[in-house]
Amino acid sequence: MQKNLAPYRVIYGDTDQMGVVYYANYLRWFEMGRTELLRQIGATYSSVEEAGFFFPVTEVSCRYLKPARFDDEIVVETTLTELGRATLDFSYKITRKNDGEILAEGWTRHACVDGKGKLAKISQALASTLKAALAPQT
């Protein structure tokens, strides 16, 4: 399976009063990783939307293991793990770059919908592009 490794440096605005990253920011980082993986495989969000499709999140899970703090360099590892007729699943692992500590792990499930928000089958062309990301990498 193809993975994307997206680096990010935690900014002060990502943290809460306790000096740790606010929990909802991990979901933003999931989105950043997903966006970069789709870009890497040639299925940018803008091209998907131009084709009339959208991928809203329908389920999300995040397990917080260790805190990230201001100025930490993190890496968001994103993998497309499943492709259905009208769904996609991604998994994520967020690690601190300097020591490799796993900070959080999670997944998202997305529906494929049309411009009116109705469930839509993923087009053959898009499915082919996405399937390439599911294939084992050599």
Catalytic positions are 16
CA dihedral sign of residues 40, 34, 70, 62: negative
Both structure tokens of 116: 């009116």
Both structure tokens of 109: 């499930």
Q: How far apart are CA 50 and CA 81, in angstroms?
A: 24
